[in-house]
Structure 1
Amino acid sequence: MKYILHLITAACFLIAMPSSFAQGKKLEKANNNFDNYAFIDARKAYLEVAEDGFLSEELLMRLGDSYYFTADYVNAAKWYGSLYDFTDQPKPEYLFRYAQALKSSGQYKASDKIMEKFNTLSNVDKRASLFVNERNYLKEIEAQSGRFKLLPVTFNSKLSDFAPAFYAGSLVFASNRLEGRNTPNRIHEWNNQPFLDIYQLPLDNSEDKDVKKLNSKVNTKYHESTAVFTRNGQTMYFTRNNFTNKKYKEDTDGTNRLKMYKGVINEDGEWKITEIPFNSDEYSVAHPALSKDEKTLYFASDMPGGKGMSDLYKVSIEGDGFGTPVSLGDKINTEFRETFPFVSQDNKLYFASDGHPGLGGLDVFVTELNEEGTGEVFNIGRPVNSLKDDFTFIVNDASGIGYFASNRDGGMGDDDIYSFEKVEDVISACTQTVSGVVVDKNTREPIPNAKVVLMDPANQIIDQLIAGKDGSFTFPLDCNKAYCVRGSKLNYGFDEECFTSTAELELELNLSLELESLNAPKIGDDLNFLLDLLPIYFDLDKDFIRADAQLELQKVISFMKMYPKVKIDVRSHTDSRAPDVYNMDLSSRRNFNTIEYIVTRGGIDRSRLTGRGYGETRLTNHCSNGVQCDEGLHQLNRRSEFIIVE
């Protein structure tokens, strides 16, 4: 991409170069071209000097930059590689550009290696951590890919076409094409091509001959691009060089910045153009996008206080005025370039960035807009994204048809517009699923219509369902969160599995719940055997419910909820140690606390529970008064029974 992409940041890349080379005059002219962003002319001279063997760190930096700033990442990687070999301590910024150029050439492992080197040299720069410590972004991109089908278009030119926008049944876009120009072409020195204008093309049965310029109130002799329109077509916002009322202005360093303009159409179809009030001669404000309710304007800028080379901002539209611009924050903005925002009707923010992990150059990313601002950022994958620059993405959610621009190989011009059809919704939030099957523990056959409950670690129910005829179940999950899944069914026991979801996109966790078949409960059955309860023990001479006993009582509670008509008689026993009267009192207290736990913690109606303490009157073994027994035998007598009585 040759134009608006780089104009925001061009002033950041001026580097002084010694003039003591033997070919000083040639280099002086090349440096002058470079400093005026005439990279192609500068490149020719740099290459001649390099081929003559006059290499230096400064020459290699500028030669790499002359390709990098014109999006030729293959050659940029070549010359940044020469720079990397030439000096033992390359500047961190050039390590970052080298890594970006390698990534744009598909050399991901080499790119990560250089990023690690960059990370060690640049403690204050967060860019490397986005690539080195980030989620498995290549796996995420793979999961996201294939959600769009590319469609052919016929209206691209041999030069640059990008920034599509929907407007009144037509497509508006920026182009520096030679066709349709009524005035002599003015050449921009950046790449020796004409300046950009805004064009319009009817979408129904249109051909390239139907492409027309917007009127002269919008298009001037300098750059215009990236337009967005209100739904009623009466108002537009667009980007232009700092050229207002036929006055061309520069910043204090002599750079002509970008500004946003507002156009309102009158009854005669003429646009009245005014400048947005928060523009500046000292920094760029560009690439507008409108929120779904058209009350917020999103844009890109390199204004002071930003995080990177260009950041995304939003500002409220207040009648004919505007509020104060607000950064979209660290989830969106990085130390590099975030630009070209677009807000879809389903309230997703799409934008281009080379600061978030991607396939190469600029990639298109998406995030959810919400009350808190924005969610996590996700690369939308191939085929929209490629090894080159991919940007200015728009989509009609109703039809699924959209457009974007790219300078990928195989196009007609420098930048081309591509159309697509949405095949599947993009991932704009991290979600996972847990799926499984409920089976019989003994036969391994699926158990149909079992109840399955999704809970948090505190046993709070999040969701519940009835498993299918094949025993299957599925729950959606949030990422990086702990869960438990519990299965149950009439005439079966219970099974529970606990786990923690990860950060991997659309991961499906699989598990099975194994329920053991029970005979239909009948009067006289002890739940200790039906539910395979672990013994509910009490500490010696204590009556409180231990933590291990609470887990077993939860199973009793679940059983009583499954069989709402069952009534239980709770019988508490002690061993023979201590006086008989004391043991009777101790077992009564244990019995009371057991029943109280089931009622208060389990929500079971008290009328369904009876019970008493039996002290040492019903020992299970020979360990009566005066008989010498080890602790294990005495422990067997300190027990609770849960007998079905109705």
Structure 2
Amino acid sequence: MYFRLLCILCFTQLAFSQNTKLNKANRLYLEHAYVKAASLYEEFASDQESLIKLGDCYYYNGQMEQATVAYSRAKKEAEYEFSKAVSFRYAHALYGSNSIEKADSVMSKLYSKTINTNDFITSLINGVPYVYTVEKIKHGSFPGDFGMNYFGDDYVFSSSRNNNTKHYTWNEMSYLDLFKAQLTEDKSLINIEPLDKIINSNTHESGAIISKDGNTMYFSRTNNKRYEVNGEKVATVKLFKSTRIDDSWSEAEELPFSSDYYSTQHPSLDEANGRLYFSSDMPNGFGSFDIYYVDILEDGFGKPINLGSKINTNHREHFPYYSDKGFLYFSSDGHQGLGGLDIFMVEKDYNNWHTPLNLGETINTNLDDFAFVVDSKNNTGFLSSNRDGKDDLYVFEREKNLRTFIVEGTVKDKNSQELLPGTLITLFNEHKVAIDSVVVSDDGTYSFRTKPNTTYIIEGFKPLYIPTNKDFNTDDSGRIELNIELELESYDDAEEIIVEKEDGYVYIELENIYFDLDKWNIKPQAARTLDVLVALMKKYPRMEVQLGAHTDNRSSVEYNLKLSNNRAQSSLEYLIANGIESSRLVAIGYGESQLLVNCGDNCTENEHAVNRRCEFIITK
């Protein structure tokens, strides 16, 4: 009995101890102390909620293989259905673990469309503007370094190398400070020293940039106090500005659009230094972090402007960098990529941003790649990445890619939406000179290879249909595979007076043309009828028409054939005289060979009138 009681007491004490650890793990998780929380969850996590939180702890610290294991365990619990947010993190953990096909499967279900990363990478090979050679800075760098940028004659970056600061509970690393250094020809950092203490505080500093004149610095700094946001206390990140006075930096001042309740970070200046780009999770964005800009005014700053849905998604857009060539680079895990944060570029046409372009596998990996900066004149620059397990600094050189763009699509009937095999698709250059053509296959598809940064016109033409064309550019708008669907409308759908009859021919139904007995000159009534045909053929300049003249049977076969030929030719000459090219017309006299009413020798005048007619059939 005592033994049984002792077992019960031990079991109760064990359950109490586990419950206490679970409560502590949950508290640490809410405080974003992910390293310590993970160590507790690892001891006993078996329920779905704890396994997901364990996966999150690893995910938020870039430990994707461990995150994949935890999420997978949670998924197996009674085939547990993840929320959209957890599914997204699970997919990126799978990408980071090189489980590409499984990650694609999760993402395909999440977005209700097919995601094929390997095909996406292949499509980028021909379309990205540059090929990158990337190398880690091996000498002078430190795990946890990131965000290297040009800083006058020196370079600036963020680092957790200062062991004298307190540790950040998120990752148990030292707080970030800003450092400057010089870079040798063999890509080593030397003369590394922290920025002034007036810049580096007892919290995080990162993402410094300097103005062209070297007298203004912008950087990010974490708030030293936590405020409650959405039910949890967080220390937001703010943007600061410091000016150079003699050889020293001034006390940094917080920018007016920063807040205790949302973050503003990752500053970048445009080429004219009149606009500041940054990343923020301020309210009314598209979700998570978006890219914004503010105009720098003489008396302060303008209102933050969101760059819009072409660039921003409901996930993370970070680290904007505006190059000296007018391209905006940024990192995102919301646009299709290779996994984690990928680097994208985007250009602007007047006031509209194009679609962001993923820079491809020569610079992006299945983990986080970010903080891209480039010297466009020398085609060299820097990025940061955790591709080797920790954030590190990388240097790159780039060279122009021999690009080709694929333009493909389908051709359909505008009204029935049926495919139109046999359509001739012609590719023209901007001067309307045909450079390639293809006849659409049975599946209604076509495909062309095109050159980059070129304007094209693509045309679909099929007999008895109105030709359709579209123009497009193979620029850096983010479109590597351009899908252009052409819809052609048939003449009989477009015009009430055009009818396809049971005999399979398409007729232009006009008032009958009357000629005087044994005559073929065009009378005023006939001219009015032919004027309708002139207008129609001018409206559709690719339309070709057969003019068919018919007689009744009251004269000899030879006479009627000659008479009908003369009447058809007379109608043709009228059309030509009114601006219709002869190549678009065919005149045929049928005589009495195609009587509509075969009444022999007993025809009434009405029956003779029906047989005397001029028909207009569209041949193309």
2:172 corresponds to which letter in structure 1? Answer: N
What aligned pairs does 1:457-468 form with structure 2 within 5 A after superposition?
462-464=430-432
Please tell me whether the aligned partners of residues 552 and 591 of structure 2 are also in contact (alpha carbons under 8 angstroms).
no
Please tell me whether the aligned partners of residues 159 and 415 of structure 1 are also in contact (alpha carbons under 8 angstroms).
yes
Closer/same/farther in 2, CA of residues 58 and 407 from structure 1, 3 Å limit = same
* Alignment match, 1:169: 153
| 1:258 Cα deviation from its structure 2 partner | 0.4
2:106 corresponds to which letter in structure 1? Answer: I
Q: Secondary structure at the match of 1:166?
A: strand
What is the CA deviation profile of residues 209-254 of structure 1, one whole-angstrom value per residue up to 9, with x for unaligned ones? 41121111211121100112212211111100124xxxx4544643
1:114 corresponds to which letter in structure 2? Answer: V
| 1:321 Cα deviation from its structure 2 partner | 0.8
Q: Secondary structure at the match of 1:171?
A: strand
* Alignment match, 1:483: 458
Equivalent-residue separation in structure 1 for 2:278 and 2:113 (angstroms): 23
Q: Secondary structure at the match of 2:271?
A: coil
Please tell me whether the aligned partners of residues 346 and 353 of structure 2 are also in contact (alpha carbons under 8 angstroms).
yes
What is the CA deviation profile of residues 135-155 of structure 1, one whole-angstrom value per residue up to 9, with x for unaligned ones? 963443444567111235234
What is the CA deviation profile of residues 468-487 of structure 1, one whole-angstrom value per residue up to 9, with x for unaligned ones? 9xxxx99658999971399x
Higher strand share: 2
Closer/same/farther in 2, CA of residues 101 and 151 from structure 1, 3 Å limit = closer
Q: Larger deviation: 199-208 or 267-276?
A: 199-208
2:252 corresponds to which letter in structure 1? Answer: I
| 1:384 Cα deviation from its structure 2 partner | 1.5
Is 1:26 the equivalent of 2:21? yes
**% identical equivalent positions:** 28
Q: Secondary structure at the match of 2:318?
A: strand
Equivalent-residue separation in structure 2 for 1:278 and 1:358 (angstroms): 31
Is 1:348 the equivalent of 2:327? yes
What is the CA deviation profile of residues 589-613 of structure 1, one whole-angstrom value per residue up to 9, with x for unaligned ones? 54222331338999xxxxxxxx9x9
Equivalent-residue separation in structure 1 for 2:394 and 2:92 (angstroms): 24
Please tell me whether the aligned partners of residues 403 and 417 of structure 1 are also in contact (alpha carbons under 8 angstroms).
yes
* Alignment match, 1:228: 209
Q: Secondary structure at the match of 2:248?
A: coil
Equivalent-residue separation in structure 1 for 2:126 and 2:30 (angstroms): 43
Closer/same/farther in 2, CA of residues 42 and 152 from structure 1, 3 Å limit = closer
What is the CA deviation profile of residues 32-54 of structure 1, one whole-angstrom value per residue up to 9, with x for unaligned ones? 3222222111111111123xxxx
Q: Secondary structure at the match of 1:382?
A: coil
Equivalent-residue separation in structure 2 for 1:130 and 1:478 (angstroms): 29
* Alignment match, 1:77: 68
Equivalent-residue separation in structure 2 for 1:480 and 1:137 (angstroms): 24
What is the CA deviation profile of residues 487-517 of structure 1, one whole-angstrom value per residue up to 9, with x for unaligned ones? xxxxxxxxx99899899616799xxxxxxxx
Equivalent-residue separation in structure 1 for 2:219 and 2:401 (angstroms): 29
* Alignment match, 2:171: 191
Q: Secondary structure at the match of 2:233?
A: coil
* Alignment match, 1:150: 134
Select which of 354, 359, 367 maps to 1:388: 367
Equivalent-residue separation in structure 1 for 2:21 and 2:435 (angstroms): 78
What is the CA deviation profile of residues 514-535 of structure 1, one whole-angstrom value per residue up to 9, with x for unaligned ones? xxxxxxxxxxxxxxxxxxxx99
* Alignment match, 2:604: none
Q: Secondary structure at the match of 2:431?
A: strand
Equivalent-residue separation in structure 2 for 1:474 and 1:140 (angstroms): 12
Please tell me whether the aligned partners of residues 454 and 475 of structure 1 are also in contact (alpha carbons under 8 angstroms).
no
* Alignment match, 2:441: none
Please tell me whether the aligned partners of residues 432 and 478 of structure 1 are also in contact (alpha carbons under 8 angstroms).
no
Please tell me whether the aligned partners of residues 534 and 575 of structure 2 are also in contact (alpha carbons under 8 angstroms).
no
What aligned pairs does 1:599-638 form with structure 2 within 5 A after superposition?
none
Closer/same/farther in 2, CA of residues 589 and 418 from structure 1, 3 Å limit = same
* Alignment match, 1:631: none
1:217 corresponds to which letter in structure 2? Answer: I
* Alignment match, 2:91: 99
Please tell me whether the aligned partners of residues 174 and 225 of structure 1 are also in contact (alpha carbons under 8 angstroms).
yes
| 1:303 Cα deviation from its structure 2 partner | 1.0
Closer/same/farther in 2, CA of residues 577 and 587 from structure 1, 3 Å limit = farther
Select which of 498, 502, 505 maps to 2:480: 505
Q: Secondary structure at the match of 1:45?
A: helix
Closer/same/farther in 2, CA of residues 135 and 186 from structure 1, 3 Å limit = closer
Select which of 97, 107, 117 maps to 1:115: 107
Q: Secondary structure at the match of 2:41?
A: helix
2:72 corresponds to which letter in structure 1? Answer: G
Please tell me whether the aligned partners of residues 549 and 591 of structure 2 are also in contact (alpha carbons under 8 angstroms).
no
Select which of 220, 235, 239 maps to 1:260: 239
Equivalent-residue separation in structure 2 for 1:573 and 1:383 (angstroms): 65
* Alignment match, 2:7: none
| 1:419 Cα deviation from its structure 2 partner | 0.6
| 1:324 Cα deviation from its structure 2 partner | 0.9
Select which of 364, 369, 380 maps to 1:401: 380
Please tell me whether the aligned partners of residues 538 and 580 of structure 2 are also in contact (alpha carbons under 8 angstroms).
no
Closer/same/farther in 2, CA of residues 195 and 311 from structure 1, 3 Å limit = same
What aligned pairs does 1:555-634 form with structure 2 within 5 A after superposition?
574-577=549-552, 588-598=570-580
Closer/same/farther in 2, CA of residues 480 and 94 from structure 1, 3 Å limit = farther
* Alignment match, 1:210: 191
Please tell me whether the aligned partners of residues 209 and 217 of structure 2 are also in contact (alpha carbons under 8 angstroms).
yes
What is the TM-score when the length of structure 2 is the normalising length?
A: 0.69
Please tell me whether the aligned partners of residues 251 and 257 of structure 1 are also in contact (alpha carbons under 8 angstroms).
no
2:166 corresponds to which letter in structure 1? Answer: R
Closer/same/farther in 2, CA of residues 623 and 505 from structure 1, 3 Å limit = same
Q: Larger deviation: 585-594 or 547-556?
A: 547-556
Equivalent-residue separation in structure 2 for 1:381 and 1:477 (angstroms): 16
* Alignment match, 1:525: none
Equivalent-residue separation in structure 1 for 2:121 and 2:376 (angstroms): 26
Select which of 35, 39, 46 maps to 2:30: 35
Equivalent-residue separation in structure 2 for 1:187 and 1:635 (angstroms): 101
Closer/same/farther in 2, CA of residues 478 and 229 from structure 1, 3 Å limit = closer
Equivalent-residue separation in structure 2 for 1:137 and 1:309 (angstroms): 25
Please tell me whether the aligned partners of residues 106 and 360 of structure 1 are also in contact (alpha carbons under 8 angstroms).
no
Is 1:365 the equivalent of 2:344? yes
2:576 corresponds to which letter in structure 1? Answer: T
What is the CA deviation profile of residues 146-197 of structure 1, one whole-angstrom value per residue up to 9, with x for unaligned ones? 711123523454430111111213221111114xx7xx33211112211111
Listed as ranges, the gaps of 5+ residues in structure 2 are 1-13, 409-425, 437-447, 462-466, 485-504, 514-528, 555-559, 601-610
Closer/same/farther in 2, CA of residues 32 and 589 from structure 1, 3 Å limit = same
Q: Secondary structure at the match of 2:579?
A: helix
Please tell me whether the aligned partners of residues 241 and 259 of structure 1 are also in contact (alpha carbons under 8 angstroms).
yes
Listed as ranges, the gaps of 5+ residues in structure 1 are 1-18, 120-127, 435-452, 456-460, 487-495, 510-533, 557-570, 603-610, 629-633, 641-646
| 1:286 Cα deviation from its structure 2 partner | 0.7
Equivalent-residue separation in structure 1 for 2:27 and 2:268 (angstroms): 36
1:418 corresponds to which letter in structure 2? Answer: Y
2:54 corresponds to which letter in structure 1? Answer: L
Q: Larger deviation: 30-39 or 299-308?
A: 30-39
Please tell me whether the aligned partners of residues 217 and 242 of structure 2 are also in contact (alpha carbons under 8 angstroms).
yes
Equivalent-residue separation in structure 2 for 1:307 and 1:150 (angstroms): 32
* Alignment match, 1:529: none
Closer/same/farther in 2, CA of residues 142 and 214 from structure 1, 3 Å limit = same
Equivalent-residue separation in structure 2 for 1:35 and 1:323 (angstroms): 35
Select which of 325, 346, 355 maps to 1:376: 355
* Alignment match, 1:545: 533
Please tell me whether the aligned partners of residues 573 and 587 of structure 1 are also in contact (alpha carbons under 8 angstroms).
no
What is the TM-score when the length of structure 1 is the normalising length?
A: 0.67
Please tell me whether the aligned partners of residues 564 and 590 of structure 2 are also in contact (alpha carbons under 8 angstroms).
no
Please tell me whether the aligned partners of residues 251 and 281 of structure 1 are also in contact (alpha carbons under 8 angstroms).
no
What is the CA deviation profile of residues 330-378 of structure 1, one whole-angstrom value per residue up to 9, with x for unaligned ones? 1111121111111112211111111111111111111112323311022
Please tell me whether the aligned partners of residues 336 and 355 of structure 1 are also in contact (alpha carbons under 8 angstroms).
yes
| 1:426 Cα deviation from its structure 2 partner | 10
Equivalent-residue separation in structure 2 for 1:337 and 1:302 (angstroms): 9
